[in-house]
Chain A
Amino acid sequence: MRLVGKPVSKGVVIGEVLLYEPFKATPVVTYIEKSNVEQAVRAYEETRARAKAELDELEARMLERDPDKAAIIYAHREILLDPAMDEEIRNLIQNDLMSPDAAIDQTYSTYIMVLGKSKNEMMRERASDLRDVKTRLLRCWAGEKEQNLSSLEKPVIVVADDLYPSDTVSLDRENVLGIVTQVGGATSHTAIIARSYEIPAVLGIPNAMTKLTAGEQVVLDAVTGEVITGSGEEELAAYRAKAEKVKAELLETKTYLATEPVTTDGRHISVRLNVAAANDHELSGAEYADGCGLFRTEFLYLNGDHLPTEDEQYETYKKVLEAFGDKPVILRTMDIGGDKQLDRLELPKEDNPFLGIRGLRLSLVRPELFRAQIRAALRASVHGNLRIMMPMVGALDEIRKAKAFIAEQGAALDAEGIPWNHEVPVGIMIEVPSVALIADLVADEVDFVSVGTNDLTQYLCAADRMNPAVKPYYQDYHPGVFRMLGHIAKTFGAAGKPVSVCGELGGDTLAIPVLVGLGIDKLSMGLASMAAAKRVIRGLNMDEARALAEEVKNMKTETEIRARLEAFAAR
C-alpha cells in the first residue's frame, strides 16, 4: 500500500509505526450504589496513586534532562496531592454517590473555572496545570497508558492526526525517525519543527491513523511524499540505498551553508535568516546569513506565563541585534490573530480570524501592547542595525497611523533622555492583496517591503491555509501568486525600495529561480532551508532565471508550473 501526502522535510527512513493518539477524556456523570462507596473510594485512591507514580517517574527522568520541565511536574504533583480537592472528591463519592471519574471531573472543572477567571496572569496559567492533572487522573482511571513523544523506548515513525507545540517542544529527537500526520502542510507548525530538527516528514495523509497499524514496518519516503507498507526484501534494500543517497545529498547540501549566495554570472542574492525563537540554535545561523529578514516576535507573547514587559522585550531584541552585528535585522511587530490566538488577550471570538483583528490591526486597537513593543524595539536600536516591519497592512492610512505611533514613542524616549537610532527604517509586510495592488502609491511611504507569501497566497486564493478541505485551492505555485510577486518586485523596485520574500516560498528550492528571475534579490528563510537555497543560487544564472520567470507567469495552471519547476531543478 502506498499513501501519499506532502513531503515537508526531506529524507528516507524505514521504521516501526507509532500511532500517537493522546488521551481525550469524555466523562459522563454516573452514580454508584450506596453499598459500593468503599470500593469506589478505593478505586479513586488507586487512580491517584497511579497518577502520582507516573509523576514521580517523570520527575526523576526530567531532573537531569530538563530541570524546567521537572519544575512543572513538581507543580502537577502538588495539585494532585492537594488536600482540599482530595477532600471534595471524596465527599462527592461518599455523600453524593458520584462515580470517581465524575467526581474528579467536577471538582477539577470547578477550580479550573475559578482560576481561569482570575485577573491574575499566573493564576490563569495554573488553570492549565489543573487541566493537565485532570486529564492524567481521568486517563489513569480509564486504565490507559500515557503517550508522549518526549521519551520513547525505541526508534519509531510517529503517525498522528496533528502535532501540537506541546508535543514537539520536548520531542525525543533521537528516537523519532520520521513524522506522518493527517493534517498540515508546508507552512504548519509541524513542518517547521520537522525541518529544524531535520526529521523526515510527510504531512496531509488523510486516514493515515486508520490505514497504518501500530508496530508495522513502513518506509517513509519524504522525497516523493509516500508511506509504503508491506515492502518485500528487495524493495526494502532499494529504499535503504535511496536513504543513504538522500542522506549523502543532504550532507553535501549542508556544505553550501557557509558559501556566498552568488549566481554563476556574479549576482549576489541576499540570503537572510528567519528568526522565530531567538534561541542559540537559531541564532547560530546568523554568521551564514546576510541578516535577519524576518524576526517573528510572537513567541514572546505565546510562550511564558505573562505578556512580555517592555524590558523583557528589550533584552530579547538586543540579543538578536547583537547576534547579527551590523547586518540588518527586520523586526516584525506582533502578528497575533489568525492561526496564532492568544487566550490571555481575551479578544472577542471571530468567525473568520484570518480576516479579523490580527497583525497591525490588533496593535492599533491594543495600543498598550504596541507601545511596549515599539519602545523596546527603539531602545534596542542602538545595539545593531534594526528595521521595523508591520504585518497585515491593507491600506495607506494604516501605515500612516503606525508611523505616527512610532514617531510618538520615539519623541517620548527623547523626552526621557533615552537614546535610540532616529534613522530606523520602517516597512511593511505585503500579504493583503489590496496593498500589493497599490504598490506605486505605497512605495513613497515605506522604506522597504517584505512579501509574506503564506498569507498572500491564502488571501489571493481565498483558501484558509489551516483548513485541509481547501488544500487543493491553496496553491503555492498559482500563476496569480507569481504575477502578483512580479508586480510587487517591479513597482517597488522602480521606486528604489528594497523588496524581499520572507514567506515559505523564499526558502523553496523550486521557487527560488523564479523569484530571482522576477527581480527579487533578497530571500529570507529558516536556518534549515539556507544551505539548499544557497546551492540553488550558486547554480543559477540571471538570464535563465529571467526567462524562467517570464515563462512561468504565462503558464495556465499550478500543475503545469510545478512540472516546469521540477524539470528546471533537474536540468
Chain B
Amino acid sequence: MYSKQIKIQNKTGLHARPASEFVSQAGKFKSKIELQRVGEEDKYNAKSIIMLLSLGLAQGEEAVLYADGEDEKEAVETLADLIASFKE
C-alpha cells in the first residue's frame, strides 16, 4: 500500500474532462486505486468515473490517493502529477 495526500487546484475540480482523463489513466495500472476525501471514512474506487463523480472533489479540497498492488508507487506518483497538471 502506498499513499499520498493531494489537493485539487484546478477550477473544474475532479469533474467532467479532468475526471475522465484521471479515470482513463488510473485504468492503466494494475493496482487497486482509491481516493478518500480528507476527514471522511469512505474510500472511492478511482478507476470508476461514476465513483469519482459521486465523490465530487472540488477546487481547494484535499484527498488521499491510495494504491495497492505491484505498480502502486508509480500509480500514485503518476496520478498525483496528473491532478496537479489540470488547468481547466
A residues with CB within 8 A of B:
75, 78-79, 82-85, 111, 114-115, 118, 120, 122-123, 126, 130
Contact = CB atoms under 8 A, between A and B. Distances in A.
A111 B50 contact: yes
A83 B30 CA distance: 13
Interface in B32-84: 45, 47-51, 53-54, 56, 58
A82 B56 contact: no
Given A75-B20, A78-B20, A78-B23, A120 B56 contact: yes
Nearest to B16: A122
A75 B54 CA distance: 16
A84 B23 CA distance: 12
B54 A114 contact: yes
A123 B12 CA distance: 11
A118 B18 CA distance: 18
B7 interface: no
B45 A118 contact: no
23 contacts: A75-B20, A78-B20, A78-B23, A78-B24, A78-B49, A79-B50, A82-B50, A83-B27, A83-B47, A84-B47, A84-B50, A85-B48, A111-B50, A111-B54, A114-B54, A115-B53, A118-B56, A120-B15, A122-B12, A122-B15, A122-B16, A123-B15, A123-B56
A28 B63 CA distance: 40
B19 to A, nearest CB: 9
B69 to A, nearest CB: 14
Contacts of A126: 53
Interface of B: 12, 15-16, 20, 23-24, 27, 45, 47-51, 53-54, 56, 58
A83 B48 contact: yes
A79 B49 contact: yes
Contacts of A75: 20
B78 to A, nearest CB: 18
A125 to B, nearest CB: 9
A83 B15 contact: no
Contacts of B49: 78-79, 82
B53 to A, nearest CB: 5
Contacts of B27: 83
B70 to A, nearest CB: 18
Contacts of B23: 78
A85 B23 CA distance: 14
A358 B53 CA distance: 33
B15 A84 contact: no
A82 B48 contact: yes
Q: What 3 A-B pairs are tightest by C-beta distance, nearest first?
A: A84-B48, A84-B45, A84-B51
A197 to B, nearest CB: 32
Contacts of B53: 115, 123, 126
A122 B11 CA distance: 13
Given A75-B20, A120-B15, A122-B16, A85 B56 contact: no
Nearest to B12: A122
B12 to A, nearest CB: 8
Contacts of A83: 27, 45, 47-48
Contacts of B12: 122
Contacts of B45: 83-84
Contacts of A123: 15, 53, 56
A161 to B, nearest CB: 32
A189 B51 CA distance: 37
Nearest to A119: B56
Nearest to A130: B50
A122 B20 CA distance: 13
Contacts of A115: 50, 53-54
Contacts of A79: 49-50
Contacts of B24: 78
Most chain-B CB neighbours within 10 Å: which of A83, A123, A130? A83
A167 B58 CA distance: 34
A75 B12 CA distance: 17
Contacts of B54: 111, 114-115
Contacts of A78: 20, 23-24, 49
Contacts of B51: 82, 84
Contacts of B15: 120, 122-123
Contacts of B47: 83-84
Contacts of A84: 45, 47-48, 50-51
A112 to B, nearest CB: 10
B82 to A, nearest CB: 16
Most chain-B CB neighbours within 10 Å: which of A82, A123, A130? A82
Nearest to A78: B49
Given A79-B50, A111-B50, A130-B50, 10 more contacts: A75-B20, A78-B23, A78-B24, A82-B49, A83-B27, A84-B50, A84-B51, A115-B53, A120-B56, A126-B53
B36 to A, nearest CB: 15
B50 to A, nearest CB: 5
A535 to B, nearest CB: 49
Nearest to A115: B53
B8 to A, nearest CB: 13
A123 B56 CA distance: 8
A78 B48 CA distance: 9
A2 to B, nearest CB: 52
Contacts of A130: 50
A185 B53 CA distance: 41
